Amino acid sequence: MKKKFKIGILGLALLLGTTGCTTNLKDKDGKAIVNPVTGQSLTENILCKPTDEATIKLYEDNGYDLDSLPSCVCKETKEKEENNKQDEEKEETSIDEEEKDTKKTEDKKDSKDTKTEKETTETEEEISSEETEKETKESSECQEFTAFNGKYEGLWTSIFVKPLAWVILLFGKYTGSFGLGLILTSILIRLVVYPLTKKSTMQTEQMKKIQPDLERLEKKYAGKDQNDREVMMMKSQEMMAIYKKYNVNPVSGCLPALLQLPLFIAFLDAINKVPAIFEEKFLLFHLGTTPMVGIKGGNWLYLILTVLVAVSTYFAMNKASQSSPSSSNANGVDMAKQTKMMMNMFTIMIIVMSVFMSSALNIYWVVSNGFTLLQNYLVKRSMK
């Protein structure tokens, strides 16, 4: 079992190590270009065009060819179509009024004046028609980012980052907010992997039922030599028999953590590579700004994100550590204490990292933790 677990970790590391990693945009001196508004280091291998004028200028000033990229979302298309319809309605109204005025005054004008006016009206209509066609053509030329367009950028980007970015943009396009799109994508992914994480959570809850048997096993071998290999082997075999009796896989509790790592990195890459996401402001926060930059700029509201990350992570990790068995390993170390210590270290690490993570990534983490807590509650309720 441990061998399979190590092979899985190695395979995941190889996958994450493939080409397509995020690289920073640098100036002639090799220094990373930072957006002065958000404080974010701009990404060189972005997936679609920026929309903010200041951001566009930073890329163009450093020799980046933005014309080769698709638009994140062709937002202007619908707006142009609506404006065109409004203009057409105004023109029709204007033409009708002119025709009425013409009818009222046609008895007073000679045929030459009438002909001139008609020609002028026709000319205006032709010009208006040409402008409308030009605008429609421009709007239809907008190439919108998709999950499979552009050149191949490696297995990781092609399979995880691009599709994830496309889903976020899709939700953002129809909700009018890429921050909301990020939240909906987080929930959608957790719903997709819910059957796996539910099974893992049920296994973890099942571990509580085997506590009496494990405690009896510990008492049985408490007075024996813990350095004796044969004794420890017998103890290990009896422990595995207990797990088998209750149909429990002790390694399955690691599955949610393994799923979180690639998802976390994929969200990080998608956020950094899609300007439409890191340029936007959602609620009180710029999605590309970190709490550290926000607080340094005098906006202490960014501290709310760090607090939310700390609270949600603590409760999510605390529930996981409470479900760990209290058996001991071959060296006599209490596994429950060991697991709790690791969870506490992980919680502290995440809290420190949250200060330097973009607001978008902090929001994803809080939503993910909230879903985990809800899932644990529903699983426990179903098992009663």
Summarised one tens digit per residue, pLDDT across range 222-272 is 777 777 788 788 888 888 888 888 777 766 656 666 667 788 888 888 888
Could you identify the residue written with the tokens 């298309």? 77
Compare 241 and 336 and report the one with higher pLDDT.
241
Q: Tell me if 318 sits within 8 A of 335, measured CB to CB.
A: no
Instruction: Quickly state the pLDDT bin for 117 (edges 50, 70, 90).
Output: low
| Percent of the chain surpassing pLDDT 70 | 68
Domain boundaries, the chain: 75-140, 180-383
Strand partners, 16: none
| pLDDT score recorded for residue 102 | 54
Q: What long-range pairs does 302-308 form, CB within 8 A, spacing at least 24?
A: 302/359, 305/354, 305/359, 305/362, 305/363, 305/366, 306/351, 306/354, 306/355, 306/362, 308/362, 308/366
Alpha-carbon gap, residue 24 to 33, rounded angstroms: 7
| pLDDT score recorded for residue 90 | 62
Compare 323 and 163 and report the one with higher pLDDT.
163
Compare 20 and 362 and report the one with higher pLDDT.
362
Q: Tell me if 255 sits within 8 A of 9, measured CB to CB.
A: no
Q: What is the mean pLDDT of the chain?
A: 75
Alpha-carbon gap, residue 81 to 176, rounded angstroms: 17
Instruction: Quickly state the pLDDT bin for 181 (edges 50, 70, 90).
Output: very high
- AA identity, residue 253: G
Q: Tell me if 167 sits within 8 A of 271, measured CB to CB.
A: no
- Does residue 94 register a pLDDT over 80? no
The set of residues, in sequence order, having a beta carbon less than 8 Å from that of 343 and lying 6+ positions away, is: 317, 318, 320, 321
Q: How far is CA 237 from CA 228, 240, 244, in A?
A: 14, 5, 10
Mean pLDDT of 268-293: 89
H or E segment to which residue 281 belongs: strand 281-282
Mean pLDDT of 99-116: 52
Instruction: Quickly state the pLDDT bin for 302 (edges 50, 70, 90).
Output: very high
Per-residue pLDDT reduced to its tens digit, 38-85: 888 888 888 888 888 888 888 888 888 888 888 888 865 444 445 555
